[in-house]
A and B are shown apart, each in its own frame.
Chain A
Amino acid sequence: MTAVAFDQVTLALGERRILDKVSLDIRDGEFVAVLGPNGAGKTTMMRAILGLVPASAGTIRVLDAPARRGNPGVGYLPQLHRPQEGLRLSARDFVGSAARGHLWGMPRLDAETKREVAWALDCVGATNLADRPLLNLSGGERQRILMALAMLGRPKLLLLDEPLISLDPNHQVAIVDLVRRLRDELGIAVLFSAHEINPLLGAIDRVLYLGGGQAALGSVDEVITGPVLSRLYGAEIDVIRLRGRIFVMAGAHDLERAEHRHAGHDHGHDHGAHEYQGN
Protein backbone atom coordinates (compact mmCIF):
# COMPACT_ATOMS: atom_id res chain seq x y z
CA MET A 1 0.00 0.00 0.00
CA THR A 2 1.14 3.55 -0.67
CA ALA A 3 0.35 6.13 2.01
CA VAL A 4 0.55 9.15 -0.29
CA ALA A 5 1.09 9.29 -4.04
CA PHE A 6 1.50 12.57 -5.93
CA ASP A 7 1.43 12.31 -9.71
CA GLN A 8 2.44 15.51 -11.51
CA VAL A 9 0.65 17.56 -8.84
CA THR A 10 0.37 21.32 -9.09
CA LEU A 11 -0.95 23.21 -6.05
CA ALA A 12 -1.77 26.90 -6.22
CA LEU A 13 -3.06 29.38 -3.67
CA GLY A 14 -4.57 32.23 -5.68
CA GLU A 15 -1.88 33.39 -8.08
CA ARG A 16 0.94 31.71 -6.21
CA ARG A 17 2.14 28.28 -7.28
CA ILE A 18 3.07 26.28 -4.23
CA LEU A 19 3.99 23.03 -5.94
CA ASP A 20 4.68 22.71 -9.65
CA LYS A 21 4.21 19.26 -11.23
CA VAL A 22 5.55 17.31 -8.29
CA SER A 23 5.51 13.51 -8.23
CA LEU A 24 6.36 11.49 -5.14
CA ASP A 25 5.41 8.37 -3.19
CA ILE A 26 5.32 8.02 0.58
CA ARG A 27 5.35 4.35 1.49
CA ASP A 28 3.23 2.66 4.10
CA GLY A 29 4.66 2.96 7.60
CA GLU A 30 7.30 5.45 6.55
CA PHE A 31 8.40 8.36 8.81
CA VAL A 32 9.12 11.34 6.58
CA ALA A 33 10.31 14.77 7.71
CA VAL A 34 8.90 17.64 5.66
CA LEU A 35 11.24 20.62 5.51
CA GLY A 36 11.52 23.82 3.56
CA PRO A 37 11.48 27.59 3.99
CA ASN A 38 8.38 29.41 5.27
CA GLY A 39 5.85 29.61 2.48
CA ALA A 40 7.37 26.63 0.63
CA GLY A 41 4.05 24.80 0.96
CA LYS A 42 4.40 22.36 3.86
CA THR A 43 0.98 23.21 5.30
CA THR A 44 -0.65 23.53 1.86
CA MET A 45 0.66 20.10 0.89
CA MET A 46 -0.87 18.58 4.04
CA ARG A 47 -4.15 20.36 3.40
CA ALA A 48 -4.13 18.94 -0.13
CA ILE A 49 -3.64 15.42 1.24
CA LEU A 50 -6.61 16.10 3.56
CA GLY A 51 -8.70 17.08 0.55
CA LEU A 52 -9.01 20.70 1.72
CA VAL A 53 -6.99 22.19 -1.14
CA PRO A 54 -7.74 20.76 -4.59
CA ALA A 55 -4.84 20.05 -6.94
CA SER A 56 -4.98 22.42 -9.90
CA ALA A 57 -3.32 19.68 -11.97
CA GLY A 58 -2.29 16.07 -11.43
CA THR A 59 -3.71 13.51 -9.04
CA ILE A 60 -3.26 12.93 -5.31
CA ARG A 61 -3.93 9.47 -3.93
CA VAL A 62 -4.10 8.86 -0.19
CA LEU A 63 -4.07 5.28 1.18
CA ASP A 64 -4.75 4.02 -2.36
CA ALA A 65 -7.83 6.19 -2.90
CA PRO A 66 -8.29 9.71 -4.27
CA ALA A 67 -7.68 12.43 -1.65
CA ARG A 68 -10.95 13.46 0.00
CA ARG A 69 -12.19 15.36 3.02
CA GLY A 70 -13.16 13.30 6.02
CA ASN A 71 -10.95 10.31 5.21
CA PRO A 72 -11.00 8.39 8.52
CA GLY A 73 -7.62 6.84 7.74
CA VAL A 74 -5.84 10.18 8.03
CA GLY A 75 -4.93 11.81 11.36
CA TYR A 76 -4.00 15.48 11.48
CA LEU A 77 -2.30 17.77 13.95
CA PRO A 78 -2.68 21.34 12.71
CA GLN A 79 -0.45 24.19 13.77
CA LEU A 80 -2.09 25.74 16.80
CA HIS A 81 -1.22 29.14 18.17
CA ARG A 82 -4.44 30.72 19.24
CA PRO A 83 -5.15 30.95 22.92
CA GLN A 84 -8.77 30.10 23.49
CA GLU A 85 -11.44 29.62 26.09
CA GLY A 86 -11.66 25.90 25.25
CA LEU A 87 -8.31 25.34 26.98
CA ARG A 88 -10.21 25.50 30.27
CA LEU A 89 -11.70 22.09 29.42
CA SER A 90 -10.17 18.87 30.62
CA ALA A 91 -8.01 16.95 28.19
CA ARG A 92 -10.56 14.12 28.14
CA ASP A 93 -13.44 16.40 27.16
CA PHE A 94 -11.25 18.24 24.65
CA VAL A 95 -10.31 14.99 22.91
CA GLY A 96 -13.86 13.65 23.37
CA SER A 97 -15.30 16.62 21.48
CA ALA A 98 -13.37 15.51 18.41
CA ALA A 99 -14.32 11.81 18.62
CA ARG A 100 -16.96 11.38 15.91
CA GLY A 101 -17.34 15.15 16.24
CA HIS A 102 -18.40 15.50 12.62
CA LEU A 103 -21.73 13.70 13.25
CA TRP A 104 -24.92 15.69 13.78
CA GLY A 105 -26.78 15.81 17.05
CA MET A 106 -25.73 16.34 20.64
CA PRO A 107 -22.18 15.68 21.78
CA ARG A 108 -22.23 12.41 23.67
CA LEU A 109 -19.71 9.96 24.91
CA ASP A 110 -21.18 6.48 24.49
CA ALA A 111 -19.16 3.48 25.64
CA GLU A 112 -17.50 2.98 22.26
CA THR A 113 -16.51 6.64 21.92
CA LYS A 114 -15.19 6.63 25.49
CA ARG A 115 -13.03 3.60 24.67
CA GLU A 116 -11.74 5.34 21.55
CA VAL A 117 -10.82 8.47 23.56
CA ALA A 118 -9.17 6.37 26.26
CA TRP A 119 -7.18 4.47 23.62
CA ALA A 120 -6.00 7.68 21.94
CA LEU A 121 -4.93 9.19 25.27
CA ASP A 122 -3.21 5.96 26.22
CA CYS A 123 -1.22 5.60 23.03
CA VAL A 124 0.32 9.06 23.45
CA GLY A 125 0.98 8.38 27.14
CA ALA A 126 -1.44 11.06 28.33
CA THR A 127 -3.88 8.99 30.39
CA ASN A 128 -2.60 10.57 33.61
CA LEU A 129 -3.23 14.06 32.17
CA ALA A 130 -6.81 13.31 31.10
CA ASP A 131 -8.68 15.08 33.89
CA ARG A 132 -6.56 18.22 34.04
CA PRO A 133 -7.56 21.37 32.17
CA LEU A 134 -5.38 21.99 29.10
CA LEU A 135 -4.63 25.43 30.53
CA ASN A 136 -2.69 23.81 33.39
CA LEU A 137 -0.56 21.61 31.13
CA SER A 138 2.93 22.44 29.89
CA GLY A 139 3.55 23.01 26.18
CA GLY A 140 4.90 19.49 25.77
CA GLU A 141 1.96 17.90 27.61
CA ARG A 142 -0.50 19.92 25.57
CA GLN A 143 1.20 18.78 22.37
CA ARG A 144 0.66 15.18 23.53
CA ILE A 145 -3.08 15.86 23.88
CA LEU A 146 -3.14 17.25 20.35
CA MET A 147 -1.34 14.09 19.23
CA ALA A 148 -4.15 12.09 20.88
CA LEU A 149 -6.65 14.09 18.83
CA ALA A 150 -4.75 13.13 15.69
CA MET A 151 -4.80 9.46 16.71
CA LEU A 152 -8.62 9.29 17.03
CA GLY A 153 -10.07 6.85 14.53
CA ARG A 154 -6.82 4.81 14.45
CA PRO A 155 -5.33 6.42 11.33
CA LYS A 156 -2.92 4.74 8.89
CA LEU A 157 -1.40 8.11 7.96
CA LEU A 158 -0.49 10.95 10.33
CA LEU A 159 0.02 14.51 9.13
CA LEU A 160 1.82 16.50 11.82
CA ASP A 161 2.21 20.19 11.05
CA GLU A 162 5.08 21.71 13.04
CA PRO A 163 4.52 19.74 16.26
CA LEU A 164 7.89 20.92 17.63
CA ILE A 165 7.15 24.61 17.38
CA SER A 166 7.75 26.54 20.62
CA LEU A 167 8.78 23.42 22.53
CA ASP A 168 12.04 23.28 24.43
CA PRO A 169 14.64 20.67 23.32
CA ASN A 170 13.63 18.04 25.93
CA HIS A 171 10.01 18.13 24.88
CA GLN A 172 11.04 18.10 21.22
CA VAL A 173 12.93 14.84 21.81
CA ALA A 174 9.93 13.38 23.68
CA ILE A 175 7.51 14.18 20.84
CA VAL A 176 9.85 12.75 18.18
CA ASP A 177 10.28 9.57 20.28
CA LEU A 178 6.51 9.31 20.68
CA VAL A 179 5.93 9.59 16.94
CA ARG A 180 8.61 7.03 16.20
CA ARG A 181 7.05 4.64 18.72
CA LEU A 182 3.58 5.07 17.19
CA ARG A 183 5.06 4.39 13.77
CA ASP A 184 6.89 1.28 14.99
CA GLU A 185 4.01 -0.17 17.01
CA LEU A 186 1.09 0.67 14.74
CA GLY A 187 2.76 0.85 11.33
CA ILE A 188 1.48 4.35 10.66
CA ALA A 189 3.00 6.45 7.88
CA VAL A 190 3.98 9.90 9.18
CA LEU A 191 4.56 13.23 7.48
CA PHE A 192 6.18 15.49 10.08
CA SER A 193 6.91 19.09 9.16
CA ALA A 194 9.60 21.00 10.98
CA HIS A 195 11.86 23.99 10.65
CA GLU A 196 14.97 22.09 11.54
CA ILE A 197 16.21 18.63 10.66
CA ASN A 198 18.36 18.09 13.76
CA PRO A 199 15.70 16.99 16.29
CA LEU A 200 14.50 14.41 13.76
CA LEU A 201 17.86 12.90 12.78
CA GLY A 202 18.01 9.22 13.64
CA ALA A 203 14.23 8.87 13.82
CA ILE A 204 13.15 9.50 10.25
CA ASP A 205 13.34 7.25 7.20
CA ARG A 206 13.42 9.96 4.56
CA VAL A 207 13.29 13.72 4.09
CA LEU A 208 10.92 15.64 1.84
CA TYR A 209 12.36 19.08 1.20
CA LEU A 210 10.10 21.66 -0.46
CA GLY A 211 11.20 24.92 -2.07
CA GLY A 212 10.66 27.02 -5.17
CA GLY A 213 7.69 24.90 -6.26
CA GLN A 214 9.90 21.79 -6.33
CA ALA A 215 10.31 18.85 -3.99
CA ALA A 216 13.21 16.53 -3.21
CA LEU A 217 12.50 13.23 -1.48
CA GLY A 218 15.20 10.86 -0.28
CA SER A 219 17.49 9.95 2.59
CA VAL A 220 19.05 12.74 4.65
CA ASP A 221 22.36 12.22 2.86
CA GLU A 222 20.74 12.40 -0.55
CA VAL A 223 18.56 15.46 0.04
CA ILE A 224 20.32 17.70 2.55
CA THR A 225 23.23 18.54 0.31
CA GLY A 226 24.51 21.81 -1.14
CA PRO A 227 23.52 21.09 -4.76
CA VAL A 228 19.96 19.85 -3.99
CA LEU A 229 19.12 22.68 -1.58
CA SER A 230 20.72 25.27 -3.86
CA ARG A 231 18.30 24.12 -6.55
CA LEU A 232 15.28 24.30 -4.19
CA TYR A 233 16.20 27.68 -2.70
CA GLY A 234 17.37 29.11 -6.03
CA ALA A 235 20.49 30.41 -4.29
CA GLU A 236 23.89 29.17 -3.23
CA ILE A 237 23.43 26.97 -0.15
CA ASP A 238 26.12 25.29 1.93
CA VAL A 239 25.41 22.29 4.12
CA ILE A 240 27.72 21.95 7.08
CA ARG A 241 27.86 18.82 9.23
CA LEU A 242 29.24 19.17 12.70
CA ARG A 243 29.26 16.39 15.32
CA GLY A 244 26.20 14.67 13.92
CA ARG A 245 24.30 17.91 13.45
CA ILE A 246 23.47 19.56 10.15
CA PHE A 247 23.48 23.29 9.44
CA VAL A 248 22.00 24.75 6.26
CA MET A 249 23.70 28.04 5.41
CA ALA A 250 23.25 30.70 2.75
CA GLY A 251 26.41 32.80 2.88
CA ALA A 252 26.99 33.38 6.59
CA HIS A 253 23.31 32.94 7.39
CA ASP A 254 22.01 29.82 9.14
CA LEU A 255 18.70 29.34 7.33
CA GLU A 256 16.98 26.76 9.49
CA ARG A 257 17.88 28.62 12.65
CA ALA A 258 16.53 31.85 11.18
CA GLU A 259 13.28 30.08 10.29
CA HIS A 260 13.01 28.71 13.75
CA ARG A 261 13.48 32.04 15.44
CA HIS A 262 10.62 33.48 13.46
CA ALA A 263 8.41 30.48 13.94
CA GLY A 264 5.12 31.33 15.61
CA HIS A 265 5.10 34.90 14.33
CA ASP A 266 2.68 34.24 11.53
CA HIS A 267 1.99 37.87 10.90
CA GLY A 268 5.55 38.97 11.48
CA HIS A 269 7.95 40.46 9.03
CA ASP A 270 9.31 38.70 6.03
CA HIS A 271 12.76 37.49 6.62
CA GLY A 272 15.86 36.08 5.08
CA ALA A 273 14.59 32.82 3.69
CA HIS A 274 11.98 34.38 1.46
CA GLU A 275 14.67 36.08 -0.54
CA TYR A 276 16.04 32.73 -1.56
CA GLN A 277 12.77 31.34 -2.87
CA GLY A 278 12.88 30.86 -6.63
CA ASN A 279 9.82 30.96 -8.86
Chain B
Amino acid sequence: MLAYDFMVNAFIAAGIVAVVSGIVGYFLVLRGQTFAGHALSHVGFAGATGAVLIGIPPIWGLVGFTLITGLGMGALGERITGRDVAVGIILTLALGFGLLFLHFFTAYATQVTALLFGNVLGVDTATLWTLVGLGAVALIALGVIARPLLFASLQPELAEAKGVSLRFVALAFLAILALTVAECVQIVGVLLVFTLMVGPAATASRLTARLSTGILLAVVLALIEAWGGIAFAYWTDLPSSFWITALSGTLYFLSLLR
Protein backbone atom coordinates (compact mmCIF):
# COMPACT_ATOMS: atom_id res chain seq x y z
CA MET B 1 0.00 0.00 0.00
CA LEU B 2 2.82 2.39 0.90
CA ALA B 3 4.78 1.48 -2.23
CA TYR B 4 2.91 4.20 -4.09
CA ASP B 5 3.89 7.84 -3.65
CA PHE B 6 0.28 8.99 -3.86
CA MET B 7 -0.65 6.66 -1.01
CA VAL B 8 2.18 7.99 1.16
CA ASN B 9 1.11 11.54 0.37
CA ALA B 10 -2.49 10.65 1.17
CA PHE B 11 -1.54 9.25 4.58
CA ILE B 12 0.64 12.25 5.43
CA ALA B 13 -2.02 14.74 4.30
CA ALA B 14 -4.78 12.92 6.17
CA GLY B 15 -2.56 12.76 9.27
CA ILE B 16 -1.89 16.50 9.27
CA VAL B 17 -5.54 17.37 8.71
CA ALA B 18 -6.77 14.88 11.32
CA VAL B 19 -4.55 16.38 14.03
CA VAL B 20 -5.62 19.96 13.25
CA SER B 21 -9.31 19.18 12.81
CA GLY B 22 -9.42 16.99 15.92
CA ILE B 23 -8.12 19.79 18.13
CA VAL B 24 -9.98 22.69 16.51
CA GLY B 25 -13.11 20.52 16.23
CA TYR B 26 -13.09 19.89 19.99
CA PHE B 27 -13.36 23.64 20.65
CA LEU B 28 -15.94 23.94 17.87
CA VAL B 29 -18.16 21.34 19.53
CA LEU B 30 -17.58 22.89 22.96
CA ARG B 31 -18.69 26.29 21.64
CA GLY B 32 -21.77 24.85 19.96
CA GLN B 33 -20.74 26.40 16.63
CA THR B 34 -20.67 23.25 14.51
CA PHE B 35 -23.18 24.66 12.04
CA ALA B 36 -20.90 27.68 11.47
CA GLY B 37 -18.12 25.25 10.56
CA HIS B 38 -20.41 23.45 8.13
CA ALA B 39 -21.40 26.77 6.51
CA LEU B 40 -17.79 27.93 6.21
CA SER B 41 -16.96 24.89 4.11
CA HIS B 42 -19.72 25.80 1.64
CA VAL B 43 -18.32 29.30 1.46
CA GLY B 44 -15.06 27.60 0.56
CA PHE B 45 -16.82 25.99 -2.40
CA ALA B 46 -17.69 29.41 -3.84
CA GLY B 47 -14.12 30.55 -3.15
CA ALA B 48 -12.55 27.56 -4.87
CA THR B 49 -14.77 27.67 -7.97
CA GLY B 50 -14.34 31.44 -8.18
CA ALA B 51 -10.56 31.01 -7.99
CA VAL B 52 -10.58 28.47 -10.84
CA LEU B 53 -12.64 30.91 -12.89
CA ILE B 54 -10.08 33.71 -12.57
CA GLY B 55 -7.19 31.28 -12.94
CA ILE B 56 -5.62 31.00 -9.47
CA PRO B 57 -5.19 27.70 -7.55
CA PRO B 58 -8.52 26.69 -5.96
CA ILE B 59 -6.98 26.15 -2.51
CA TRP B 60 -6.14 29.85 -2.22
CA GLY B 61 -9.63 30.87 -3.26
CA LEU B 62 -10.89 28.46 -0.65
CA VAL B 63 -8.63 29.77 2.11
CA GLY B 64 -9.28 33.40 1.18
CA PHE B 65 -13.06 33.09 1.05
CA THR B 66 -13.45 31.04 4.23
CA LEU B 67 -11.07 33.35 6.10
CA ILE B 68 -12.88 36.53 5.03
CA THR B 69 -16.27 35.01 5.82
CA GLY B 70 -15.03 33.66 9.15
CA LEU B 71 -13.74 37.10 10.13
CA GLY B 72 -16.98 38.69 8.93
CA MET B 73 -19.07 36.28 10.98
CA GLY B 74 -16.85 36.90 14.01
CA ALA B 75 -17.14 40.67 13.61
CA LEU B 76 -20.93 40.45 13.53
CA GLY B 77 -20.69 38.41 16.71
CA GLU B 78 -23.66 36.72 18.34
CA ARG B 79 -26.04 38.21 15.80
CA ILE B 80 -24.72 35.75 13.22
CA THR B 81 -22.88 32.86 14.80
CA GLY B 82 -25.54 32.07 17.39
CA ARG B 83 -28.31 31.96 14.81
CA ASP B 84 -28.91 28.94 12.66
CA VAL B 85 -31.06 30.91 10.24
CA ALA B 86 -28.36 33.50 9.50
CA VAL B 87 -25.69 30.81 9.18
CA GLY B 88 -27.95 28.74 6.91
CA ILE B 89 -28.57 31.72 4.66
CA ILE B 90 -24.82 32.36 4.37
CA LEU B 91 -24.41 28.67 3.50
CA THR B 92 -26.99 28.70 0.68
CA LEU B 93 -25.81 32.07 -0.61
CA ALA B 94 -22.29 30.66 -0.90
CA LEU B 95 -23.49 27.53 -2.69
CA GLY B 96 -25.49 29.77 -5.03
CA PHE B 97 -22.37 31.70 -5.93
CA GLY B 98 -20.45 28.46 -6.32
CA LEU B 99 -23.07 27.33 -8.82
CA LEU B 100 -22.85 30.65 -10.66
CA PHE B 101 -19.08 30.35 -11.00
CA LEU B 102 -19.49 26.77 -12.25
CA HIS B 103 -21.98 28.03 -14.81
CA PHE B 104 -19.21 30.07 -16.41
CA PHE B 105 -16.71 27.31 -16.04
CA THR B 106 -17.93 23.92 -17.14
CA ALA B 107 -14.78 22.11 -18.29
CA TYR B 108 -13.80 19.79 -15.46
CA ALA B 109 -16.51 17.83 -13.73
CA THR B 110 -13.91 15.73 -11.91
CA GLN B 111 -12.45 18.85 -10.32
CA VAL B 112 -15.88 19.77 -8.99
CA THR B 113 -16.42 16.29 -7.60
CA ALA B 114 -13.01 16.50 -5.91
CA LEU B 115 -14.00 19.82 -4.38
CA LEU B 116 -17.35 18.55 -3.13
CA PHE B 117 -16.29 15.12 -1.90
CA GLY B 118 -12.53 15.39 -1.52
CA ASN B 119 -9.67 13.72 -3.34
CA VAL B 120 -7.08 12.66 -0.83
CA LEU B 121 -5.40 10.36 -3.35
CA GLY B 122 -4.67 13.33 -5.58
CA VAL B 123 -2.62 15.31 -3.03
CA ASP B 124 0.77 16.31 -4.46
CA THR B 125 3.88 17.35 -2.56
CA ALA B 126 3.21 21.07 -3.04
CA THR B 127 -0.25 20.67 -1.49
CA LEU B 128 1.31 18.76 1.40
CA TRP B 129 3.50 21.74 2.23
CA THR B 130 0.48 24.03 2.00
CA LEU B 131 -1.34 21.77 4.47
CA VAL B 132 1.63 21.82 6.84
CA GLY B 133 1.80 25.63 6.66
CA LEU B 134 -1.93 26.24 7.16
CA GLY B 135 -2.11 23.68 9.92
CA ALA B 136 0.84 25.18 11.76
CA VAL B 137 -0.65 28.68 11.58
CA ALA B 138 -4.01 27.39 12.86
CA LEU B 139 -2.50 25.44 15.76
CA ILE B 140 -0.08 28.19 16.81
CA ALA B 141 -2.90 30.75 16.80
CA LEU B 142 -5.06 28.33 18.78
CA GLY B 143 -2.20 27.83 21.25
CA VAL B 144 -2.13 31.58 21.87
CA ILE B 145 -5.87 32.01 22.47
CA ALA B 146 -6.78 28.56 23.85
CA ARG B 147 -7.01 29.58 27.50
CA PRO B 148 -9.31 32.61 27.14
CA LEU B 149 -11.17 30.76 24.34
CA LEU B 150 -11.96 27.89 26.69
CA PHE B 151 -13.02 30.27 29.46
CA ALA B 152 -15.18 32.31 27.06
CA SER B 153 -16.74 29.15 25.60
CA LEU B 154 -17.75 27.70 28.96
CA GLN B 155 -18.59 30.83 30.95
CA PRO B 156 -18.94 33.82 28.62
CA GLU B 157 -20.46 36.25 31.15
CA LEU B 158 -17.84 35.48 33.78
CA ALA B 159 -15.00 35.58 31.24
CA GLU B 160 -16.18 38.99 30.07
CA ALA B 161 -16.24 40.24 33.65
CA LYS B 162 -12.70 38.97 34.20
CA GLY B 163 -11.46 40.95 31.23
CA VAL B 164 -11.64 38.52 28.28
CA SER B 165 -12.72 40.19 25.04
CA LEU B 166 -15.47 37.85 23.86
CA ARG B 167 -15.53 39.46 20.44
CA PHE B 168 -11.80 39.13 19.83
CA VAL B 169 -11.75 35.52 20.96
CA ALA B 170 -14.75 34.67 18.76
CA LEU B 171 -13.17 36.43 15.79
CA ALA B 172 -9.81 34.72 16.20
CA PHE B 173 -11.46 31.33 16.60
CA LEU B 174 -13.53 31.71 13.43
CA ALA B 175 -10.35 32.62 11.54
CA ILE B 176 -8.67 29.47 12.90
CA LEU B 177 -11.80 27.51 11.98
CA ALA B 178 -11.67 28.89 8.43
CA LEU B 179 -8.10 27.62 7.98
CA THR B 180 -9.07 24.24 9.40
CA VAL B 181 -12.05 23.98 7.08
CA ALA B 182 -9.80 24.75 4.11
CA GLU B 183 -7.55 21.90 5.23
CA CYS B 184 -10.38 19.43 5.68
CA VAL B 185 -11.76 20.17 2.21
CA GLN B 186 -8.57 18.73 0.73
CA ILE B 187 -9.30 15.37 2.33
CA VAL B 188 -13.07 14.91 2.48
CA GLY B 189 -14.42 17.80 0.37
CA VAL B 190 -16.75 20.70 1.02
CA LEU B 191 -19.84 18.63 1.74
CA LEU B 192 -18.23 16.25 4.22
CA VAL B 193 -16.14 18.59 6.40
CA PHE B 194 -18.45 17.81 9.34
CA THR B 195 -17.31 14.20 9.31
CA LEU B 196 -13.66 14.95 10.22
CA MET B 197 -14.11 18.14 12.19
CA VAL B 198 -17.21 17.43 14.26
CA GLY B 199 -17.50 13.63 14.30
CA PRO B 200 -14.33 12.77 16.26
CA ALA B 201 -14.69 15.74 18.64
CA ALA B 202 -18.34 15.03 19.40
CA THR B 203 -17.56 11.36 19.98
CA ALA B 204 -14.62 12.24 22.24
CA SER B 205 -16.63 14.68 24.34
CA ARG B 206 -19.21 11.95 24.97
CA LEU B 207 -16.55 9.47 26.09
CA THR B 208 -14.62 11.50 28.67
CA ALA B 209 -15.30 14.26 31.15
CA ARG B 210 -11.65 15.34 31.13
CA LEU B 211 -10.72 18.24 28.90
CA SER B 212 -7.16 17.13 28.09
CA THR B 213 -8.22 13.53 27.50
CA GLY B 214 -11.06 14.78 25.32
CA ILE B 215 -8.77 16.76 23.03
CA LEU B 216 -6.30 13.88 22.78
CA LEU B 217 -9.09 11.40 22.07
CA ALA B 218 -10.54 13.67 19.37
CA VAL B 219 -7.14 13.66 17.62
CA VAL B 220 -6.77 9.88 17.93
CA LEU B 221 -10.30 9.26 16.60
CA ALA B 222 -9.74 11.69 13.71
CA LEU B 223 -6.51 9.85 12.83
CA ILE B 224 -8.21 6.44 13.01
CA GLU B 225 -11.06 7.66 10.81
CA ALA B 226 -8.89 9.45 8.25
CA TRP B 227 -6.20 6.74 7.94
CA GLY B 228 -8.72 3.95 8.25
CA GLY B 229 -10.80 5.50 5.49
CA ILE B 230 -7.83 5.65 3.13
CA ALA B 231 -6.78 2.08 3.93
CA PHE B 232 -10.30 0.72 3.36
CA ALA B 233 -10.50 2.68 0.13
CA TYR B 234 -7.26 1.02 -1.01
CA TRP B 235 -8.50 -2.48 -0.15
CA THR B 236 -12.05 -2.10 -1.46
CA ASP B 237 -11.59 0.37 -4.32
CA LEU B 238 -14.44 2.44 -2.91
CA PRO B 239 -14.10 6.24 -2.34
CA SER B 240 -12.00 7.16 0.73
CA SER B 241 -14.43 9.92 1.73
CA PHE B 242 -17.19 7.34 1.93
CA TRP B 243 -15.11 5.22 4.30
CA ILE B 244 -14.19 8.22 6.46
CA THR B 245 -17.85 9.20 6.87
CA ALA B 246 -18.76 5.57 7.57
CA LEU B 247 -16.11 5.28 10.31
CA SER B 248 -16.93 8.70 11.78
CA GLY B 249 -20.66 7.95 11.85
CA THR B 250 -20.20 4.45 13.27
CA LEU B 251 -17.92 5.62 16.10
CA TYR B 252 -20.26 8.49 16.95
CA PHE B 253 -23.33 6.28 17.10
CA LEU B 254 -21.42 3.70 19.15
CA SER B 255 -20.59 6.45 21.63
CA LEU B 256 -24.31 7.17 21.96
CA LEU B 257 -24.88 3.60 23.15
CA ARG B 258 -22.55 4.10 26.06
On A, residues with C-beta under 8 Å from B are: 47, 50-52, 69-70, 74, 76-80, 84-86, 88-90, 93-94, 96-98, 100-108, 131-133, 149-150
Contacts and interface: CB of A to CB of B under 8 A. Distances in A.
6 contacts: A90-B210, A98-B159, A102-B151, A104-B144, A105-B147, A106-B146
Interface stretch (B8-16, B39-47, B120-128, B161-169): B161-169
Contact of B154 (A47, A94, A100, A108): A94
B112 interface: no
Contacts of A80: 157
B162 A84 contact: no
A117 B214 CA distance: 20
B241 interface: no
A101 B164 contact: yes
Interface of B: 29-32, 143-148, 150-151, 153-155, 157-164, 205-206, 209-211, 214
A107 B153 contact: no
B22 to A, nearest CB: 16
B147 A103 contact: yes
A97 B158 contact: no
A88 B157 CA distance: 19
A98 B162 CA distance: 9
Given A104-B144, A105-B144, A107-B146, A89 B158 contact: no
Given A90-B209, A93-B209, A132-B209, A102 B150 contact: no
Nearest to B202: A85
A88 B163 CA distance: 25
Cβ-closest 5 pairs across A and B: A70-B163, A101-B151, A78-B157, A90-B209, A133-B209
A101 B146 CA distance: 9
B32 A76 contact: no
A79 B211 CA distance: 24
Contacts of A90: 209-210
A104 B184 CA distance: 27
Contacts of A69: 160-163
B146 A105 contact: yes
Nearest to B153: A86
A176 B30 CA distance: 31
B157 A76 contact: yes
Nearest to A69: B163
Given A93-B210, A131-B209, A101 B143 contact: no
Contact of A86 (B146, B148, B154, B158): B154
B205 A103 contact: no
A74 B154 CA distance: 19
B167 to A, nearest CB: 13
A101 B152 CA distance: 8
A98 B153 CA distance: 10
Contact of B148 (A88, A89, A103): A103
Given A85-B205, A89-B209, A133-B209, A74 B151 contact: no
B158 A106 contact: no
B159 A88 contact: no
Contacts of A133: 209
Contacts of B161: 47, 50-52, 69-70, 74, 76, 78
B188 to A, nearest CB: 22
Contacts of A84: 32, 154
Nearest to B201: A85
A74 B161 CA distance: 9
A88 B205 contact: yes
Given A89-B209, A102-B163, A107 B147 contact: yes
Given A93-B209, A102-B164, A107 B159 contact: no
B155 to A, nearest CB: 6
B201 to A, nearest CB: 9
A103 B145 CA distance: 9
Given A85-B29, A86-B153, A93-B210, A104 B158 contact: no
A102 B214 CA distance: 22
A71 to B, nearest CB: 9
A74 B157 CA distance: 13
A93 B163 CA distance: 20
